[in-house]
Amino acid sequence: MAKKKMKIRAWIDGSKASVKAILFHPMETGLRKDKATGKKIPPLYITEVTCEHNGKNVLTCLWGPGVSKNPFLSFRFNNAKKGDKLKISWADNTGASDNAETTLK
């Protein structure tokens, strides 16, 4: 089985929904050199992350190579209730992408 690429926790906190997510991604800037070969490590980083609450976009993250390895993201939104769906999708600069869905607790 492929390595898990994302962890999401989403829950209702009072009147708001809180979300915490970690995406597993190397986030290479393209500026780093491989010490053994002296060659540059090609850039590989997430460019766009979209978060959808019941199919409606709540947050779009535009990321550059300045975001850390295995990026962490946390945000809050309103008008949510227990059992709602939250979907997070990402795409990187090579065109690779993935998504994961969770239910608000």
Partner 1 sequence: MTNTRRIFLKASLAASTLAVAAGANLLTPRSVLAAWPAKAFNAKKMDEAMTGIIGGTQTTPSPDITVEAPDIAENGAVVSVTIKTSLPKVESISVFVPVNAYPLASSYNLSSSTDGFITGRIKMAKTSPVIAVVKSNGKLYSARKSVKVTLGGCGG
Comparing CB distances to partner 1, the nearer of 1 and 96 is 96
| Residues in binding contact with partner 1, number by CB under 8 A | 40
Q: Say how far apart CA 27 and CA 75 lie, in whole Å.
A: 21
Return all residues near 40 (Cβ < 8 A) that are at least 6 apart: 30, 31, 32, 33, 34
Which residue of 2, 14, 55, 62 would you call a contact of partner 1, by CB under 8 A? 62
Looking only at residues 80 through 99 of this chain, which bind partner 1 when binding is defined by CB under 8 A? 91, 93-95
Q: Using the rule CB under 8 A, is 42 a contact of partner 1?
A: yes
Stretch that binds partner 1, among 1-9, 61-69, 81-89 (CB under 8 A): 61-69
Q: Say how far apart CA 94 and CA 64 lie, in whole Å.
A: 13
Which residue of 14, 31, 37, 55 would you call a contact of partner 1, by CB under 8 A? 31
Backbone dihedral region for residue 93 (phi beyond 0: left; psi -120 to 50: alpha; all else: beta): alpha
Instruction: Give me the count of residues in the chain.
Output: 105
User: Which residues sit at the interface with partner 1, rule CB under 8 A?
Assistant: 16, 29-33, 35, 40, 42-43, 47-48, 53, 56-69, 71-79, 91, 93-95
